[in-house]
Amino acid sequence: MNPVPAAPLAEAAGLSVTAREGGLRVEGLAFAVAPSELLVLVGPVEAGSAVLRAVLGIERPDAGVGRVLGEDASALSRARAAALLSRVGFHPRSGSLLANLTLRENLLLPLQFHRRLTTAEAERATAAALDRFGLAGAPEVRPEEVALPVRRRVALARAILLDPELLLLDDPLDDLEEDVAREVVAAVGAWARERPRGVLVTSHLAGTAAALRAPALPLPVIRA
């Protein structure tokens, strides 16, 4: 008897979205990311961002459907969508670090919202996440006070802090020096292969998929 295929952790069917900038539209995108799979969507920066926002239910698509963990988050109540997305790690292209908080405060946010941990447990969890990306700690300084590689690593550590089943990364190597990009790729790949997790990445860089040892899917982009 053949085993039943695992349900996709992220998927799109006939997904069409319009980018916020650049006059671009992704038309009829289809993909599925199963546990233990990595997939890189290759195309213009704004197009990839629009796809991830639709898959996460942040914005409704023009047509088709995107799902995470089997659910269309845009069709759920706010409470159900929040519970669903707590099982998903997301690194937007901006990094999503709040300018009015220190790096350490930014890192602790997911634990404060979704976990009841002691101070010691929270410290261990954050230290382990930071260590994966080559940081000994998150400084008590605002994001604008440190270089881009440090901000990017803290944001990535925060994205995996709750040990998500699925990780979505929006152009995570953008503007990084080659040596830093290699370290980020190695850290993401090692994390993804520890257990049956899914990783969906967007990138405008053709070499990202090869670096992650993942298949590449060109985005079907047209001018809007």
Q: What is the pLDDT of residue 94?
A: 77
Q: Give the pLDDT band (50/70/90) at residue 52.
A: very high
- Provide the edge-to-edge strand list for the sheet that holds 221-223: 63-68, 10-18, 24-33, 221-223
Listed in sequence order, the DSSP H helices in 56-197 are 78-85, 103-114, 119-132, 148-160, 178-192
Instruction: Give strand pairing partners of 11.
Output: 32, 67
pLDDT in tens, 128-147: 999 999 888 887 899 999 99
Straight-line distance from the first to the last Cα atom of the chain, in angstroms, rounded to the nearest whole number: 47
Q: Average pLDDT in the 205-215 region?
A: 92
Q: How many CA atoms lie within 13 A of 150 on its CB side?
A: 16
Q: Give the pLDDT band (50/70/90) at residue 164.
A: very high
**What does each C-alpha distance from 9 to 4, 28, 97, 180, 197 come to in angstroms?**
15, 19, 25, 28, 8
Q: Give the pLDDT band (50/70/90) at residue 111.
A: confident
pLDDT over threshold 70, residue 1? no
Q: Of all helices (H) and strands (E), which one includes residue 46?
A: helix 45-55
**What does each C-alpha distance from 188 to 4, 12, 101 come to in angstroms?**
28, 23, 25
Whether the CB-CB separation of 141 and 83 falls below 8 Å is answered with no
Nearest to 214 by CA among 133, 10, 206, 9: 206
**What does each C-alpha distance from 117 to 111, 120, 121, 125, 161 come to in angstroms?**
7, 8, 6, 10, 13
Q: Cα-flanking dihedrals φ and ψ of residue 140, to 5°?
A: -85, 60
Nearest to 169 by CA among 92, 110, 108: 92
Whether the CB-CB separation of 158 and 106 falls below 8 Å is answered with yes
Q: Give the pLDDT band (50/70/90) at residue 5.
A: low
Q: Give the pLDDT band (50/70/90) at residue 28.
A: very high
Q: Give the pLDDT band (50/70/90) at residue 107.
A: confident
Q: What is the pLDDT of residue 80?
A: 94
Q: What is the pLDDT of residue 22?
A: 74
> What secondary structure letter does DSSP report for 129?
H
Residues comprising the chain, all counted: 224
Q: Give the pLDDT band (50/70/90) at residue 71.
A: very high
Q: Average pLDDT in the 23-39 region?
A: 95
